[in-house]
Every structure is written in structure tokens, then in C-alpha cells.
Amino acid sequence: MKLATILVISLFACNVGTPNAQEPVRTGVWGGKGIQLTVTANGAGIDYGCDSGTIDGPIQPDSRGKFVARGTHVFGRGGPRAPGDPAPKPREARYQGVSKGNKLELTVLLPELDRNLGKFTVQLGQRPTLERCG
């Protein structure tokens, strides 16, 4: 009985002060250079200034803060659209990265096009720097 008590106390002592990296990424607006990520309990919306995207489900890091999420990416285009112009086609997207408290590193991949759109760093509450299509 004493050994079991010591083991339980030891387990709790090891976890004191250690953030729970298994909680979903915090909700709110995350901004960075060329990106705004708006995280909700059910996923996220992404604004790149011209392009846009979605993450279809909670962003759930593992115990090391790493995550992989699925969603869509839509290429934007500048200028007005003529009546009858088709809307841009959403592409399957894979979002992967690392959550580090109020900072998030995010890489955007488009498997169907075999493209890596780049790596972005966003911070919770930071204003994004976006360039709009013209």
C-alpha cells in the first residue's frame, strides 16, 4: 500500500508545471506574416490575403506539440468576377506544425498538386500582415 502511494505521488510530482500539450490549440485570432488563422472549437479559417483555407476539425497537438490536420485551400484571384464565372475550386490541404504556447508553426501542403505552400509562424492575438489581391 505504501509503495502504491509513493508511485502515485511521484507521478503527480513529475507533471507539476508541465503544460498539457494534448489540449486543442487555443481558440482566437492568430496572426503572422502573410496569414491570419482564426481558430474555433471545431476547426479554423485561414486568410492569406488573397487565398483562403479551412481546417476541418479541432487542431489537436500530440504530447510534443506536433499536429496534423486536414482541410481545404482555395486559390484567390484579383479583380471582379464576371457573372457566371465559376468559383475557385477548393483543394485538399494538409496542415502540419507545432504548437508552442501562444505561437504556432504551420506548414501548408497540397497533396493533390504535390505543392508545399510554405511555412508560417503565427501568434495568438497578433495582427496579421496580409497583402490583398488586386
pLDDT for 10-62, tens place per residue? 444 444 444 454 789 999 999 999 999 999 999 999 999 999 999 999 999 99
Residue of 77 and 51 predicted with greater confidence: 51
Which 8-state DSSP code applies to residue 8? H
Map residue 6 onto helix, strand or coil: helix
Structural contact between residues 66 and 60, judged by C-beta atoms closer than 8 angstroms: no
The helix/strand count (H/E) of the chain reads as 1, 8
pTM of the model: 0.79
Q: Cα–Cα distance between 122 and 42 in angstroms, integer?
A: 19
| Residue 95 vs residue 19, higher pLDDT | 95
Asked if 61 and 21 count as a contact pair (C-beta separation under 8 A), the reply is yes
Distance CA 133, CA 14 (A): 51
pLDDT of residue 11: 41
- Is the separation of the CB atoms in 97 and 15 below 8 Å? no
Highest mean pLDDT among 12-21, 79-88, 113-122: 113-122
Q: In this structure, are residues 126 and 32 in contact, taking their beta carbons and an 8 Å threshold?
A: yes
- What residue segments make up the domains of the chain, in order of their start? 2-124
